[in-house]
Structure 1
Amino acid sequence: MRLLVTAILMLAAALPAQVKFKFGAIKDQQQQTKAAEGPADIYAQISFKDENSNGILENRENAVVTVKLMNKGIGDAQEIKVSLVEESATPDPNIYIEKEKTIPRLRPREEMKVEFKIVAGKKVKSAVRKFAIKGIEKEGYDMETAYLELSTQEFEPPKLQFSGLEIIERGEGLYPKKSDGRLEKGERVKVRVMVQNVGLSTAANVRFAVATSTENIKLAENEGELGDIRSGDVKELNFIISPNNRVEASGPLPVYLSMEDATKDGVIRAFQLPILLDQKPEDPKIVSVEAKPTQQKQVTRIQFTGSKSSALADGYVDIKDVPASKTENPNAVAVVIGIENYQNVPSAPYAANDAEIMKRYFENRLGISRDRILLFTNEQVRGIFFKKMFDPERGTLSTYVKPGETDLYVFYSGHGMPNKAADQTFLFPVDGDKEFLEESGYPLSKFYENLNKLNAKSVTVILDACFSGASRSSAQIKEQNLIAAKGIKLKVTKPWTTFKNFTVINSSTGEETSLGFDESETGLFTYFLTAGLKGEADKNKNREITLGELKEYVTTNVTQVSRRISGTQTPEFDGDPNRVMVKY
C-alpha cells in the first residue's frame, strides 16, 4: 500500500505544469459553481434624511440617501453596482451627489448598506427632481429600480427689519428728568429696539452696533450679539443714550443701527433710528411672515416599481414604529383623547390617529402601564364627558390618582373653541354646539383648576388643538371657520404658571391654526412630538430626552414645515427644561 501511494505522488510530480494548473482551475471552477448555486434575490430598504429633518433639501444643506440591500435568495449576489442618477434632461448643477458604489458580494441572508451624500449649493432652485436608484448585479439578479423624488428649496435669504423702539427711563445708571417715555436733552436713558426677521431663512449669529455722527450724543452698551433670529421672530437689543444740551436736531437724531448675520445675507447698514427729542416713539410694527409661491410644500418621497423594496423612513421618521425605552413609571396615569368626526362643526382631520399613536408612546416611551392609559376617541367623548372624567371629587380620573405619588398626563387632539368675547376657551366634545358653547364646552380654566385639585405628583398636559376659531387644515385639506371671528386675539391667562409641577405643551399660540400633516396622517405637532420622543430630539446623543431638547426640536421643525403648508404654527412649552422625559 505504501508503495502505491509513493508511486502516485511521483506520477503527480512528473506531470507538466499546465496540467497541474488545470487541476487547480477545475477546483476553482467548482468553488465558483458552488457560490453561484441558485439565484440571488435582492431586496432593498431606502431612506432619505436631511439635516433639519423636514424632508426638503434646502440651499447649503446636506442629506443622505441610505440603500440597505438584503439577499433573500440562495446564491451569492456578485458585484452589485448601486447608483443614484438624476433622470432629468437638465440636471441642476447645484446638486452634488456621490458616485456609484459597489458591494463586492452579498451572501444569502446577508445585509449591507451604502450611503449617498447629497449637497445643495446656494443657488439650488425650488423643484422636485426624480432620481433612479438602481442596483445592477453582475449575473443579472438586479435590484428592482426605485425612484427618489427629491424636493429642493431655493435660497430665500433672511431679512432683518427695524420694527420699533421704546424709551426705558427706570434702571440703574439712568437719569430721566421725567418718566413720560420721551427723550430730552441732558437725560441718560435706555433705548430698547425691536428687530424682526421678515425673511424666510434663519439669520444666524446676529451682531449689532449702534453709532452716532456727533460728539454731542454719548452712547454706551451699543454693541453686542443677539444669536439666531428665526423667520418671523422678533428680538430686542438695548443701548444707553445721553444727548447733551448742545444737540440740535429738528428730525431724528443722528443715531444709526447696523446689523449682520454670520453669512451676511441678512444685513442692516447704518439705519437711522427714529429717535426724536421730546416725542414719544410710535408703537412697534410686527408683520406676519407668509410663505412665498417658491416655497416648497411637497416633501421628498420614495417610489417603488415592485414589492421587493420599501422605505425605511420615506423622507421622515417612522413614528408608527415605537421602540420600548428604559423609562418606567408604574404610578403614572394618562388620559388620551382624540376627536375627529364632530357632529355639528367641521372635522379635525387625523385627531383620532393622534390619540391612537400617542397611546403607544405613553406606553413604550414614557413607561406608563397599558392598563393605566385611558383612551377615548370620537363618539366616546360626548355630553358631559369632560366633567365626568376630570371632576376632582367624583370624576373617573380621581380614582387613579394618588396625591403626591401619581404622575398625571393628559393628551387632547381636537377642536378648541374661543367664546365671542375671546376671554375664555373651551375643550369641545363630539356633540358640542358652538351656539351654546358655555353649556356644551368644557372651560380650559376649569380643566386646569380641576387637574390641580387632584394633587398629583406632577401634571403634564399636551394639547394638539388651536383656539383661533379655525378648523385644522393641511396641504390637502382646506381650513374652515368654526366661529364668525377667526384669528381673534385671545385675552386669556395661563393659570398653570401658578401651579406646582405643571408642564404644559400647546401645539400653537392662541391666534394660530394647528395644522394636519398628510404624510403621517397625524397632526403636524403630534408628528414632530412623537419623532422627538422616539429619539430625534436627543441633541447631545446621551440617550436621554429632556423637555428642553424636545422643545427645541419640535418648535424648530413645526415652525419651518408649517410655513410651507399654511402660515406659521409655533408650539409653546412651559415647564422645567431639564426634566428628563425619556431614557432609552
Structure 2
Amino acid sequence: MKKPNHIHAWLLGLGLCLGLQSVWAQGQTYAVVVGIADYKALTYQTGDLRYADQDARRVAAFLASRGGGQVAPARLRLLTNQQATGAGIRSAMKLFTQAKPTDRIVLYFSGHGLTDSFVPYDVRPDDPASLLTYADIKAAFRASAAGVKLCIADACLSGNLTRPVQPTAQSAKATRMTASGTNVAMLLASRSTQMAVEDKQLLAGTFTYFLLKGLQGEANSDRDNVLTIKELHDYVVPRVRKLSKGKQSPVFYGRFSDTLPLAYF
C-alpha cells in the first residue's frame, strides 16, 4: 500500500490471495483473509493505512455470500489489525491442511509489502523474523492438498511473490506453491517495483475495489453463469492501470487454465 517515503524506506530496511474463487461444482473453500490498516508500531502520520482492514472485511463478506461460494465460518479466518500478528497469520494458514484435492484454498492479504515479505501487525524494525515471508506462504500452500490454490495480495511490491525462493536445504520444498496437477494462481496488486495505492474516492485499495467489482459480476463479459480468471484479469488490470495513470499494474501469475472459474451467478 502507498505510504510516506520515509516509512517505506524503514520497512524496506527490514529486509506484504479472493475470492477468489467462488465455487466449483463440488468441493469446499478454505480461506484466510487478512487486512491491516492500524499497525502496532505506526500511526497514520507515520505509515498506517486507511482501508486495508475494511477491504479484508469486504472480501470475507464476498466469500460468505452466494456468489463467493457461501464459505462456512468454520472454513473462514478473518484477521484484521491487532489480530493479524505474524504468529496469528501462520496459525490461521494451518486451516489449509484440511483441504482435499477437490477443495480450494484462498489467502487474501491487504497491508504493507516488502520485496520478500508481507508485514504483519506486530512487525519489529529490529527483527526481520517478525515478518511474514513469501517462503512462509509458499510452504503453507505446498502443505495443502487442495486442487486450487489462490493467493491475492493488495500490497506494495507484491509482484515479487512470483519469484522463486532462493534454494537452500531448508527452503527447496517451499519454492513452489503447488504440487503437480494443481491449479495455482497469484492475483497481485502491483509489479515487483510498484506501489499498491489506496484511493480516497473509492474508499478502498484500488486493486481490491476493482477485484471485488469484477467478482460480483461486472467482469462477466459474456454474461453467462461463470466468471473465469481471464475475464477477471481483463476487467481488473486495465482499470487499475488507468486510475493509477500507469503507475500500478496488477499481475496474474501461476499455472492455471484461462477458464478457471472464480465466481458463479
TM-score, with structure 2 as normaliser? 0.76
| SS in structure 1 of the partner of residue 122 of structure 2 | coil
Matched, 1:466 2:156: yes
Partner of residue 68, structure 2? 366
Structure 2 distance, partners of 1:333, 1:490, is 24
Aligned CA RMSD, in angstroms, stands at 2.5
Q: Does the 8 Å contact 2:40/2:82 carry over to 1?
A: no
Residue 572 of structure 1 pairs with residue 251 of structure 2: yes
Contact 2:220–2:227, Cα closer than 8 Å, also in 1: yes
User: For residues 383 and 546 of structure 1, do their structure 2 counterparts lie closer, same or farther at Cα, with a shift above 3 Å needed?
Assistant: closer
Q: 1:349 to 1:496 in 2, by over 3 A?
A: farther
| Corresponding residue for residue 543 of structure 1 | 225
CA distance in 1, matches of 2:78, 2:177: 27
Residue correspondences, number: 224
Give secondary structure in 1 for the equivalent of 2:236: helix
Contact 1:328 1:368 in 2 (8 A): no
Which residues of 2 match residues 405-416 of structure 1 at below 5 A?
Answer: 405-416=102-113
- More relative contact order, 1 or 2 (CA 8 Å, 6+ apart): 2
- AA in 2 matched with 1:337: V
Alignment of 1:402 with 2:99, yes or no, is yes
Whole-angstrom CA distance in 2 between matches of 1:411 and 1:573 = 14
Which among 55, 76, 79 is matched to residue 354 of structure 1? 55
Residue 211 of structure 2: aligned partner: 529
Report the CA distance shift for 1:451/1:497 in structure 2 as closer, same or farther (over 3 A): closer
2:114 alignment partner, SS class: strand
- Which is greater in Rg? 1
- CA displacement at 1:492 relative to structure 2: 7.2
Q: Report the counterpart of residue 429 of structure 1 in structure 2.
A: 120
Contact 1:329/1:367, CA 8 A, preserved across alignment? no
Superposed counterparts of 1:149-160, under 5 Å? none
- 1:389 counterpart = 2:92: yes
Residue 454 (structure 1) shift:
1.5
Partner of 2:194: 512
**One-letter code of the match for 1:366?**
G
Q: After superposition, give the CA deviation of every residue in 1:58-108 in whole Å (9 maximum; x if it has no partner).
A: xxxxxxxxxxxxxxxxxxxxxxxxxxxxxxxxxxxxxxxxxxxxxxxxxxx
CA distance in 2, matches of 1:367, 1:403: 16
Q: Tell me if the contact between 2:112 and 2:155 (Cα under 8 Å) persists in the aligned partners.
A: yes
* Residue 262 of structure 2: aligned partner: 581
Pick from 146, 158, 162 the counterpart of residue 456 of structure 1.
Answer: 146
For residues 381 and 580 of structure 1, the distance between their equivalents in structure 2, rounded to whole angstroms, comes to: 29
SS at match of 2:214: helix
User: Residue 383 of structure 1 contacts residue 431 of structure 1 at CA under 8 Å; is this kept in 2?
Assistant: yes
Pick closer, same or farther for the CA change 1:490–1:328 going to 2, 3 Å. closer
Letter in 2 for 1:576: S
Instruction: Report the Cα offset of residue 326 of structure 1.
Output: 8.7
Displacement of 1:498 in angstroms is 6.5
Percent of counterpart pairs with the same letter? 25
Which structure 2 residue ranges, 5 or more long, are not aligned? 1-21, 165-174
Matches within 5 A, 1:106-185: none
Which one has a larger percent strand, Structure 1 or Structure 2? 1
Give secondary structure in 2 for the equivalent of 1:551.
helix
Show the 5 A alignment for 1:432-447. Answer: 432-437=123-128, 439-447=129-137
Match of 1:502 among 184, 195, 209: 184
Alignment correspondent of 1:422: none
Q: Does structure 1 conserve the Cα–Cα contact (< 8 Å) formed by 2:99 and 2:105?
A: no
- Structure 1 segment 42-121 matched on structure 2, within 5 A: none
Counterparts of 1:507 and 1:490, CA distance in 2: 11
> Please, what TM-score do these two structures have when normalized by structure 1?
0.36
SS of 1:540's partner is coil
| Aligned twin of 2:3 | none
